[in-house]
A and B are shown apart, each in its own frame.
Chain A
Amino acid sequence: MNILVCISHVPDTTSKINFIEANTVFESRDVQYVINPNDEFGLTRAIWFKEKLGAQVHIIHVGTPKSDPTLRKCLAIGADKAFRINTPALDGVSVAQELAAFVKSNPYDLIIAGRESIDYNGAMVPGMLAALLDIPFVPNCVGLDIDGTTAVAEREIDGGREKLKGSLPMVIGCQKGLVEESDLRIPNMRGIMQARQKPFEIVPPQEAIAATQDVKFEKPAEKAEVKLVPAEDLDQLIDLLHKEANVL
């Protein structure tokens, strides 16, 4: 079985978010980049399939050489081969088109992506990729079992879970729950050394055209000071929530 995991490279969750050039560009200086957490859950599951079922795990990323350390980390924790489509990721549509073109000439049994990236929160690449390839798609995936050529994937829905069955190839958008936090792997020395020997291919882009463009950023307004209510006077809290905040 051949699995392709789509990797996004995002600011670490503790990053301060700032903008430069009159709020048109994200300030990436001093920002630590990591594997998008949702993608890492997916990659971890893929490596599990590699160990249990002997799957081949490839990773793919649309981006510039700046992302290479993140991709090397994926190799260090167990992926077999990395591809980077060599073009800046412009928007969800163009990334999905680049990935679709790649998969059309390099078929996989299973394509794993994260539910969403934690920077632009688009939640669109995996679904668009599935639609462009005309294959099934399961988002918010928290459970995945494979039996020959069919997969049963569980997705989280508002207030519950739904189990869906479809034939491979399939695209899933995964999140925490597919594996546990404690299953995540930290690269060890041996993995890091091996990663240097693993194939890392640079793929020329299709020059897909973006459908959207982010033109200006804004930071949320400064928050007013919290109103503290003494623990002995909870009536005051109820009064404030009722009359001032109007939420009761």
Chain B
Amino acid sequence: MSVLIIVESENKLLKRNAAEVASYGVAFAEKLNISCAALAFHATNANELGQYGVAKVIHVSNVSTHFDANAYANAIHGFASQNNVTHIIMGSSADAKFIAPLLAAKLNAGYAPNVIALPDELSPITVKRTAFTNKAFVHTQLLTACTVIGVGNNAFGVIENPVTCTVKEVDAENSDSNLEQVAIEKTTGKATIADADVVVSGGRGLKGPENWHLIEELAEVLDAATACSKPVSDMGWRSHDEHVGQTGKPVSTNLYIAIGISGAIQHLAGVNSSKVKVVINNDPDAPFFKAADYGVVGDAFEVVPKLTQKLKAFKALA
């Protein structure tokens, strides 16, 4: 029995969520009192996982350099079945959620996504995860010998626990692909909703796309990703990939700032697992005030530019 932590990389470097997934995997293995290793594809800094308690990294570089879910799942499957891996720990990014079901089916494993804590029971392994799009939690038993666990974004946190880390180069046996990448478009140099520490989000209260500079300027000061409510993307003020909520992207960031968003149940469902929520709205009865930690009752067109100025000054001093 052993734990295999799958960490993600991009442009040959570990992705930010690798630290949290590694921290969870190490703590999980300790709780079960079994050994653990991490597996990374094309990451020149894989040894940095030692910072989070990972003593051994399996590094695979004989697979496609761009993400290929099926080939990566085959590679992980091959390694796991030859090395008596019983528990696979992954993240919750779009790519992790692409691989996990493929892998679980190949391994005949039970899969629990959006897990927010270490197991509360060990036999069978029982984990707490979010359900009903953050309106509830469920404790799920994994009944199979082999399991796949997806750690929710920002749900467990990073635990620094430096150890010496050795990286072993291993060739994956099977890396055939059933999909060809035709094109990829990716915004560079800008925080993404999945990765950012802070998300600044605008709703219909901003009146029109021409006012979005308010959101963008605030986001820039905070190094934040920008997001929006559903009607804003439905009306084409912003592109679909910014739509957050129950039918859009989930947000679980450290700080979520909602501007001119009423706080409909479907919107809140998608953003509720963010740690700290701030609302700026001119209607003191807007439902968002019931879900937020901090609130400002006021006109976004006055409050937001002022807040941006003040934060600029604050950041300059920090």
Tell whether A and B belong to one assembly: yes
Interface residues of A (CB under 8 A from B): 11, 13-14, 17, 19, 37-38, 91-93, 96, 118-128, 130-132, 135-140, 142, 152, 155-167, 175-177, 180-182, 210-220, 223-224, 226-231, 234-235, 237-238, 240-242, 245, 247-248
Are A13 and B93 in contact (CB-based, < 8 A)?
Answer: no
Residues of A within 8 A of B132 (CB): 11, 17, 118-121
Give 1 or 0 for each of B186-200: 1 = CB within 8 Å of chain A CB.
110010111101100
Are A218 and B240 in contact (CB-based, < 8 A)?
Answer: no
**A44 nearest CB across to chain B (Å):** 14
Q: Known pairs A118-B247, A128-B102, A226-B295. 13 more at Cβ < 8 A?
A: A17-B136, A121-B132, A137-B102, A157-B94, A211-B111, A211-B142, A212-B142, A215-B139, A218-B136, A229-B294, A229-B296, A241-B278, A248-B222
Are B136 and A217 in contact (CB-based, < 8 A)?
Answer: yes
Residues of B within 8 A of A127 (CB): 98, 100-102, 105
Q: Which of B105, B185, B190, B314 is within 8 Å of A128, CB to CB?
A: B105
Closest to A235 in B: B310
Residues of A within 8 A of B94 (CB): 139-140, 155-158
**B148 nearest CB across to chain A (Å):** 9
- What is the interface size of chain B, counting residues whose CB is below 8 A from a CB of the partner? 93
Q: Report which residue of A161, A224, A241 has the largest number of chain B beta carbons within 10 angstroms of its beta carbon.
A: A241
Are A226 and B289 in contact (CB-based, < 8 A)?
Answer: yes
B241 on the interface (CB 8 Å rule)?
Answer: yes
Closest to A166 in B: B179
12 A/B residue pairs, CB under 8 Å, sorted by A: A13-B246, A13-B247, A37-B246, A91-B110, A93-B105, A118-B133, A128-B104, A158-B194, A161-B241, A177-B240, A217-B138, A241-B276
Residues of B within 8 A of A120 (CB): 131-132, 138
**A178 nearest CB across to chain B (Å):** 10
**B316 nearest CB across to chain A (Å):** 13
